[in-house]
Amino acid sequence: MSQGLSERWKWFQQDLLQSLLHYHGREDHATARVLLLAAIGTVGMPLYYVVWHNFFPQDYESVPLRLVGIVLCSAGLFAERFSKPVLDLYLLVTLSYTFPFFFTFMFLMNHASGVWGESLLIGLVVLFHFDTGLACRAYLIGTALACAAAAVLGEAAVLLRPQVLQQLPIHLFTIAALSVAKVSREVLAQAKLAGLGAGLATVAHELRTPLTSVDANVRGLLRLAHDAAGAQREDRLQTLDALTRIQFEVRHMNHMIDLFLLSATAVNRNLRPTETVSMAAVVESVLRRYPFAGAAQQRSVAVEVRADFAFAGQAELSVVILLNLLRNALKAIHRAGKGRVRIVVDGARATPRLLFIDTACGVAPSRLPLIFRRFYSYPAHNGTGIGLALCREIMQAWDASIRCVSREDAYAVFVLEFPPQPSARLP
């Protein structure tokens, strides 16, 4: 059973990532942008004819050229019906005409006026929001045709004016900057997908172990069911033990889901304090909610309330912090094969604090400065590396602090200190 679930989870990961990649590719695909370009061009071509002809007259204007632009842009409103070869050809023709050709030609025919120089630069920025290779081809084709058309119409001398020649380095710089920005966006998108993949892998890893345990216990119950006629007291005890184990594993999986959901919610919510919270109450809630593996593990956690205190925060986010710390401590004890957890609520000090102590494997001195960094996990591949980073982010939002004091192979002490509150000490 668990193997089948694990395989389905693995396929779910792959399908989700492929869907996201497809969605990202679709957003980069020209169709969506063609629709936007078509709408803007269909409205902009006649609108700016009125602006440049009536309100701010230019030396040269051409109704036929604008009509061609309107026809090309309005055809793009039906781009979703185009096949890919037709869409690719349409894009090359329309982009070459609309931005490089039309804007460059009008720039030259208006004798390198400032209005058309700025318009040409804006057109270039819009052009290079499309695929870089396509934009380069359109730029070269449209610019060459515009220069040739201006020369045929007797404006060849304009091509050598400083106002025209100085546009070339500006255009090259703009193209380079836009290309770098586009690459940066793609790298960021890939990094986000990689982070999502790592998160999904961690969820799969966390759920695979309890699923394996559930599967083993179910197989044992099936064997007992097949041999029900000869069931003895010992078999009934084994059945009860298997059912108890299954119940624990289900509770553990539910806890892990709760923790992941709480952490994901905390990333996107307002972290600022909204209520006054009792630290002892938070500790009690965490111990009540945590799915201990058994009585022995539960006994390994001791709580000492020297003096309760109140602090400005959010109760649910406080639970997120302590659940992360308790889970990390118990995992460290499991790795080390030794150790206990001690939670000390110390509100009698001038600066109220909570001490979270485990005597397991500690943290190496070289790793200690890194453990609160996002995506850093210790040991490697031990999680997503967002738990402690999230804890620190929440504490900072409350004007509180969290730090770790550790000795390798001996202990780790997390110190959570809170700003004093009026009447913060509770009985």
pLDDT value of position 15: 45
pLDDT value of position 372: 87
Tell me the pLDDT tens digit for each residue of 349-383: 999 999 999 999 899 888 888 888 876 776 655 55
Of the candidates 366, 282, 382, the one whose C-alpha atom is nearest the C-alpha of residue 329 is 382
Instruction: Write the DSSP string, 349-394.
Output: SSS-EEEEEE-SS---TTTGGGTTSTT--SSTTSS-S-HHHHHHHH
pLDDT value of position 265: 59
pLDDT value of position 72: 94
Cα 149 from Cα 177, distance rounded (Å): 29
Domain 271-417 matching CATH 2.60.40.420: the answer reads no
Give the confidence band of 200 by pLDDT, cuts at 50, 70, 90. low
pLDDT value of position 281: 95
| Cβ-based neighbour number of residue 98 at 10 Å | 26
Q: Average pLDDT for residues 395-423, to the nearest whole number?
A: 91
Tell me the pLDDT tens digit for each residue of 183-199: 777 666 566 655 555 55
| 249 token code pair | 């594993």
Q: How many helices (H) does the chain have, and how many strands (E)?
A: 14, 7
Per domain, the residue ranges of the chain are: 2-190, 205-265, 271-417
pLDDT of 2 strictly over 50: no
Tell me the pLDDT tens digit for each residue of 239-274: 666 676 676 667 666 666 666 666 665 555 678 899
Q: Average pLDDT for residues 134-143, to the nearest whole number?
A: 93
Give the confidence band of 4 by pLDDT, cuts at 50, 70, 90. very low
Give the confidence band of 151 by pLDDT, cuts at 50, 70, 90. very high
